[in-house]
Amino acid sequence: MPDRHDMPEQHEMPEQHETIRIAAAGDIHCDQLRRAQVEEAFAQIAEQADLVLLAGDLTTQGELEQAEVLARIVRDFALPVVCVLGNHDWHSDRADEIREVLADAGATVLERSSAILNVRGTTVGVAGVKGFVGGFRGSSWSNFGEPLFRQAYAETTADVDALDTALKSIAGCGIRVALLHYAPICETLVGEPEGLWLVLGAERLARPLLAHRPDLVLHGHAHNGTFQGSLDRIPVHNVAVHVMGRDFWIFELEARRHGAEVGVEEAGVSL
């Protein structure tokens, strides 16, 4: 039996980390007037990304024909598309129909839920909620007063609880993303009048994010807000197209044993 010192030296193989390119946008407000631009933007991103995430306000006024503009694009699109709805998508009280049209076209529409995708051998988990109003420290909505006020507070609570559950369900994924429409921090609202922050996001949405620490948080809604922020070092980005100045922004995430490393690259046609 050979002496252990004579055995060939064994080197631990370096971990292989796949870089996943996520194209993200919010507030694309599809309608007939924007059809050509949205089609062009998706066509350009098809060769630059592995996955598309849409952070709500997919339509202009929540009409079914506006959702069908996006559905026709998604139906023939090569990449997975995951989205949440926004307040505009609820405006005409047809949110259920919009979700159905998009799902039939092949999109994954998250509503207080999650999805796990296998993207080039990497599990990518997306936890999705629309979110709702509530404000931030110093000017936040309280669970007090008229029934309508308490109902609004309860609606946000339901989103907070659902986000917590959705993030738990993707805990084992190589890359974990939280996808919202309303903002969970005020840093990405800077640029909007502070008096509007109450209806642009809710600080309570940050609680499950801090508890589960996803690799990336995306939201939209605040057209005059700020692109980049953070929540205790968790990257948070406002990907409303009005803020980005592009139709998509590419986030490059490298799956790691203890979280993903996030890089940012702009892409898409100018507004």
Per domain, the residue ranges of the chain are 19-270
Burial (CB < 10 A; 0-12, 13-18, 19+), residue 5, is exposed
The CATH number of 19-270 is: 3.60.21.10
The DSSP symbol for 231 reads E
**Tokens coding 118:** 């296998």
Q: Which of 217, 259, 257 is nearest to 126 (CA)?
A: 217
**Helix or strand (DSSP H, E) at 36:** helix 35-45
Specify the amino acid at residue 92. Answer: S
263: three-class secondary structure by DSSP: strand
Sheet strand arrangement including 19-25: 108-109, 81-84, 51-55, 19-25, 246-254, 261-270
> Which of the residues in the chain have pLDDT under 70?
1-17, 256-271
Q: Are 226 and 188 in contact (CB under 8 A)?
A: yes
The pLDDT assigned to 255 comes to 85
CA distance readout (Å), 50 to 39, 80, 237: 17, 8, 19
Tell whether pTM > 0.75.
yes
52 pairs with which residues across the strands?
Answer: 23, 81
Q: Are 53 and 109 in contact (CB under 8 A)?
A: no
